[in-house]
Amino acid sequence: MILALVARNSWRHKLRSGLTILGMVVAILAFGLLQTVVSAWYAGADAASDTRLITRNAISLVFPMPISYEQKIRGIEGVRQVAVANWFGAIYKEPKNFCPQFAMSENYLDLYPEFLIDEAGRDAFKHDRKGCIIGRKLANQYGFNIGDTITLKGTIFPGEWNFNVAAIYEGKKKNTDTSQFFFHWSYLNETVKVRYPRRADQVGVFVAETVDADRMASIALAIDNQFKNSAAETLSETEKAFQLGFVSMTGTIVVAIKLVSYVVIFIIMAVMANTMAMTARERTAEYATLKALGFSPIFVSALIFGESLMLALFGGVLGIAGSFPVAAAFGRKMGTMFPVFNISAETVTLQILCALTVGVLAAIVPARRAATVRIVEGLRAVA
């Protein structure tokens, strides 16, 4: 009975209820998208492996290291295999067409089982000096297909660079980054030897796969001690720490986005509270009548809480449902700026909790007033 009464009361003023629900939909939708932006910022760190170490120049990532370090790192106890990579940073047609590009050793992808490539693609890449492997999202964004030739304009390594698409990799998981561009480090190095001899035989990072995640700290220390007091000292850290280093550069932005997302919820809570206050004020005589008929103050309060929760949850559910197509469209629009842009289960949980919180908090004051109204004062409005 009480649910039916709550449902009728919720739609007694259709325009007011509709506008309140619409505001709730917009707020929950905006909250979900802002939280997803924050999640996208941390996507690289969240997808990091527990057994991969990244070794870079201790001064800065922009300073290279000799390729000769590879064999020394490989010889350290606890290291299973080592791959090299170099940030390329070229432009495809226009500067706005950004995507992560890496020159890598042939065994690099062996350390990343989350990148799924068929054997034919691997073989084609191996036998093509100018071959490249690109992610599915990158291929979809620019319409690349296997066999296409891609011309990039170098910035760090000036000149035009031509690559043949040998394979397109898929992501093993939903949060796998499929916006990257990989090509042979040997091709880069051979070309650099001709064009810029002093920059040859150098790499940006070494990626080491370890045998035991529990020994990561000691292995990292051993690697750095190996090159202590050398011309290019190293800094080794877990892949997650390496990724978080980039996130920390924009930490203020992330905090601001989180703050805005909760401000949106606070605003809709104020709107919902005003709606429920108006509702309770208009029905003062009805609540007094219910109390005169023997209904308890708890029952009267339950009516208001039920109506508030019904409006909030209805708007919340619609907002959550709308979050998925809007996030998908936004992710396509942003392209490789956000390699992973998916509404997570955690975000949906937060959206539900926010809707519940708004529904409960907005009803507290009106419910208290309705429950404590004196029958005589309430019935006076009837006359």
Lowest mean pLDDT among 108-112, 147-151, 197-201, 283-287: 283-287
Q: What angle do CA 260, 356, 320 make, to 5 degrees?
A: 65
Residue 209 to residue 109: CA distance in whole angstroms: 12
Residue 10 tokens, joined: 């919720």
**51 part of a folded domain:** no
Specify whether 214 is located in the same domain as 352. no
**145 part of a folded domain:** yes
Specify whether 172 is located in the same domain as 291. no
Q: Which of 232, 261, 295 is the endpoint of a domain?
A: 232
Specify whether 71 is located in the same domain as 98. yes
Specify whether 265 is located in the same domain as 226. no
User: Given this model, what pLDDT does residue 166 score?
Assistant: 95
**50 part of a folded domain:** no
**66 part of a folded domain:** yes
Where does the pLDDT of residue 277 fall: very low under 50, low under 70, confident under 90, or very high at 90 and above? confident
pLDDT at 383 over 50: no
pLDDT at 332 over 90: no
Specify whether 77 is located in the same domain as 218. yes
Number of domains, the chain = 2
Specify whether 192 is located in the same domain as 286. no
Strand partners, 102: 87, 182
Specify whether 203 is located in the same domain as 72. yes
The closest alpha carbon to 290, from 298, 300, 281, 280, belongs to 300
Where does the pLDDT of residue 376 fall: very low under 50, low under 70, confident under 90, or very high at 90 and above? low
Q: Which domain holds residue 312?
A: 2-43+250-380
Specify whether 262 is located in the same domain as 351. yes
Q: Could you tell me the pTM of the whole model?
A: 0.80
Lowest mean pLDDT among 9-23, 48-62, 253-267: 9-23
Specify whether 85 is located in the same domain as 227. yes
Specify whether 308 is located in the same domain as 370. yes
Q: Dump pLDDT digits (tens) for 212-230.
A: 888 999 999 999 999 998 9
**239 part of a folded domain:** no
Specify whether 95 is located in the same domain as 181. yes
